[in-house]
């Protein structure tokens, strides 16, 4: 492999891990050597990168010698256990779990929003939650224009957010449902095919789920906006990939649709898809596989003074996870 960084991917065989491998190749990230790491049950699998076969190795505390960048996407417990070994060996960890996001000395970064925060890292940089990223890609440019006070939202989250097994579960259940066979859920607490579950992650005291709480806390940290208030209901829907979110936001300053459209149109990484008269608006089926998030259904909110309502879609595995991590790695190499 050419001159460049020595990169390790932890969780290389998972849904996000396989996207990371593809993105490093597609975006011509300067990889000198690529190390693929996973649990013992996945070790020995062979994955391709730039035409080469790379054997997946078992993750251990000695896996990170000579590694420059370690992309972690194997869940919070794995990150908590192994990130310190990677950082201790001199690698910069870019972690896709929730393990370190709210730690004061760990930057939580969306490159289009707060790239300067990367400079404050002490060996670990956190990738935000997928729903947070996708909402903020549309909310932040509006915040710059009008300064957001609060938001109420409902998410429509694809099964890809729960990993490769969840994608398989939706596929199997859909076939079983259509052929009249019984459906047995494993990943989710109820059948997901032809159903909607108003639960993403575990419930906390107060009735919100962990996913819903993440959105509030992470948004404040990323936007450097500690007084931002939000209430979101996170919902799992039978869609394979790409999350959608309906957002109702209230701003401090008077809003204008023309100014809002300009702010959204000119924001890097965001595409305005908003022509209801031609039935053009963001959908998960059109956002899937796309690097950019899509925003539309933009209108003045009828419930609030200085309010805007909008609908945003984004690929959970790309901008919501792997792409954001690779963009952080790209900024580090600069």
Active site residues: 130, 243
DSSP string computed for 229-255: EEEEEEEE-S-SS-EEEEEEEEESS--
CB atoms within 10 A of CB 276: 11
Beta partners for residue 71, in sequence order: 9, 94
The length of the chain, given as a count of residues: 334
Phi-psi map region of 289: left, alpha, beta (phi>0 left; psi -120 to 50 alpha): left
Helix (H, G, I), strand (E, B) or coil at 164: helix
Chain CA centroid to CA 278, Å: 30
- Tokens for 1, please give them: 């492999």
> How far apart, in whole angstroms, are the C-alpha atoms of residue 224 and residue 135?
16
The vertex-321 CA angle with 317 and 326, nearest 5°, equals 110
| Distance between CA atoms of residues 232 and 214, nearest Å | 10
């Amino acid at each position: 492999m050419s001159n460049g960084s020595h990169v390790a991917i932890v969780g290389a065989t998972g849904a996000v891990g396989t996207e990371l491998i593809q993105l490093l190749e597609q975006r011509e990230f300067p990889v000198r050597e690529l190390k693929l790491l996973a649990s013992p049950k996945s070790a020995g699998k062979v994955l391709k990168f730039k035409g080469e076969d790379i054997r997946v190795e078992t993750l251990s505390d000695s896996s990170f010698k000579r590694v420059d960048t370690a992309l972690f996407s194997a869940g919070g417990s794995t990150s908590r256990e192994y990130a310190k070994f990677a950082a201790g060996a001199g690698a910069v960890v870019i972690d896709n779990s929730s393990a370190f996001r709210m730690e004061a000395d760990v930057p939580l970064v969306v490159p289009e929003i707060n790239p300067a925060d990367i400079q404050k890292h002490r060996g670990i940089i956190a990738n935000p939650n997928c729903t947070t990223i996708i909402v903020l890609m549309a909310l932040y440019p509006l915040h710059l224009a009008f300064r957001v006070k609060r938001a109420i939202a409902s998410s429509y989250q694809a099964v890809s957010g729960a990993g490769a097994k969840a994608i398989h579960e939706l596929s199997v259940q859909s076939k079983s449902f259509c052929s009249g066979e019984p459906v047995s859920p494993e990943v989710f607490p109820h059948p997901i095919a032809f159903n909607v579950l108003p639960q993403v992650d575990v419930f906390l005291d107060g009735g919100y789920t962990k996913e819903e709480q993440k959105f509030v806390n992470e948004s404040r940290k990323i936007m450097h906006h500690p007084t931002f208030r939000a209430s979101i209901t996170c919902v799992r829907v039978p869609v394979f990939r790409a999350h959608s979110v309906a957002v109702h936001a209230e701003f401090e300053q008077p809003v204008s649709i023309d100014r809002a459209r300009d702010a959204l149109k000119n924001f890097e990484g965001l595409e305005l898809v908003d022509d209801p008269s031609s039935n053009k608006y963001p959908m998960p089926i059109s956002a899937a596989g796309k690097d950019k998030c899509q925003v539309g259904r933009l209108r003045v909110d009828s419930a609030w003074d200085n309010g805007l309502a909008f609908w945003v879609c984004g690929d959970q595995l790309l901008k919501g996870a792997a792409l954001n991590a690779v963009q952080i790695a790209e900024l580090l190499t600069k």
